[in-house]
Amino acid sequence: MTKPKKIRIIDGIPICSVFKPQGIPASDLQEIVMSIDEFEALRLADYLGLEQQPAAELMNISRPTFTRLLGSARKKMAQMVVDGKKLCIEGGRIELRRHRCRFCGREWQKPSGFCPTCGEKHQPGFSGKINQ
């Protein structure tokens, strides 16, 4: 029996969800799937440089879970580069972080750093469509 996975809170979805080596037909490429929560762990730790404990708290998961997600994401990145595989970023039990405007109090969950009511800028996020 595995216990149900906790929902991971993320700040945004990837700008680009498919990465493919140039000049190789798609039919010859092996595909690696990175979940969006793995991507978020990689973004927080390796892109933003956060320590694992605060990064795990941001995602609402335990530190061991964060470490496991990060390790898996790093391995997939390495496989993509070393083996020349196609990488797709999709899926995972995720929920976008809720933003609250400090001026008008409006709450929203879109991956946008701007309040939909008054346009005030908040933390930076990604732009893109949610495909879940």
Q: Which residues bind Zn ion (CB under 5 A)?
A: 101, 103-104, 106, 115, 117-118, 120
Minimal distance, residue 95 CB to Zn ion, in Å: 21
Choose between 21 and 113: whose C-beta lies nearer to Zn ion.
Answer: 113
**What is the spatial distance between Cα 9 and Cα 40, in angstroms, rounded to a whole number?**
9
Minimal distance, residue 13 CB to Zn ion, in Å: 22
Going by DSSP bridges, is the β-strand pair 107-108/99-100 parallel, antiparallel, or unpaired? antiparallel
* 47-to-20, 22, 41 alpha-carbon distances in Å: 20, 24, 9
Give the strand order in the sheet containing 86-89: 18-19, 86-89, 31-34
Choose between 121 and 129: whose C-beta lies nearer to Zn ion.
Answer: 121
SS3 content of the chain, % helix, strand, coil (to 5): 35, 15, 50
Choose between 62 and 109: whose C-beta lies nearer to Zn ion.
Answer: 109
Choose between 18 and 118: whose C-beta lies nearer to Zn ion.
Answer: 118
